Amino acid sequence: MSKKIYIVDDNENKNYKYNIKEDTDIYHFSINSSCEVEIDLEKEGVCLNYFYNNINYDDNKFSIKVNHLKSNTHSELYNHGVNVFCNKLMYYVDGVVLKNSSKCICNQDNQIINMDNGKSTICPNLLIDNYDVDSNHAAYIGKFKDEYMFYLMSRGISREEAYRLLLHGFLINSEKIEKDKIELFLNEIEKI
């Protein structure tokens, strides 16, 4: 059973620092906020799942750095953002594996949906000083795919409802999320 941490940032700039010594799932929801996150995986074998979900209206930046300080540590980062207007949204995502940290898994999946013509940037960095690491990264910036809209609408769902379903699916990207802990964020999705 992993430890669960919920964070909801609402129009604020914050820094977070975590020292992870047990398996942890962090659900980080952000409304129009910038923040810097640094995480040290300090105990051998610990697993971190980090879900960052962000609704953006102004120019904002999110940076996260995960340091694999011990062997057999595992990190999975899922960073999803919706850039609503024509603003700048930047993600800097670093996974760091030290030379003496062997057999680590270090993965990241980053996606930003531009609802308008926002200028979004994702900088995924895997800084790995070891030969036995399992590591992947993915980055996508764009609109919801046309084929998604077609499929949903072909079942009678209006364009507006289809967007609502897609936004919910994109921003509430884990079935384990306890909805009552993020009401503010859920309400914000309805306003997009």
Between 13 and 150, CB nearer to another protein: 150
Between 84 and 172, CB nearer to another protein: 172
Q: Which of 103, 152, 95 lies closest to 124 in space, CA to CA?
A: 95
Between 73 and 79, CB nearer to another protein: 79
Tell me the window of 10-18, 28-36, 87-95, 161-169 that interacts with another protein (CB under 8 A).
161-169
Indicate the SS3 state at residue 51: strand
For the CB of residue 62, give the shortest distance to another protein in the complex, in Å. Answer: 20
**Contact between 141 and 109 (Cβ < 8 Å):** no
Instruction: Output b/e per residue, 22-36; b: 16+ Cβ within 10 A.
Output: eebbbbbbbbbbbbe
Residue of the chain from 48, 82, 172, 182 that contacts another protein (CB under 8 A): 172
Strand partners, 134: 105
For the CB of residue 162, give the shortest distance to another protein in the complex, in Å. Answer: 8
Query: In whole angstroms, what is the distance from residue 162 CA to residue 164 CA?
Result: 5
Between 3 and 159, CB nearer to another protein: 159
Tell me the window of 118-126, 129-137, 151-159, 183-191 that interacts with another protein (CB under 8 A).
151-159
Residue reference for tokens 């995960």: 66
- Would you tell me which residues interact with another protein (CB under 8 A)? 146-159, 161-162, 165-166, 168-170, 172-173, 175
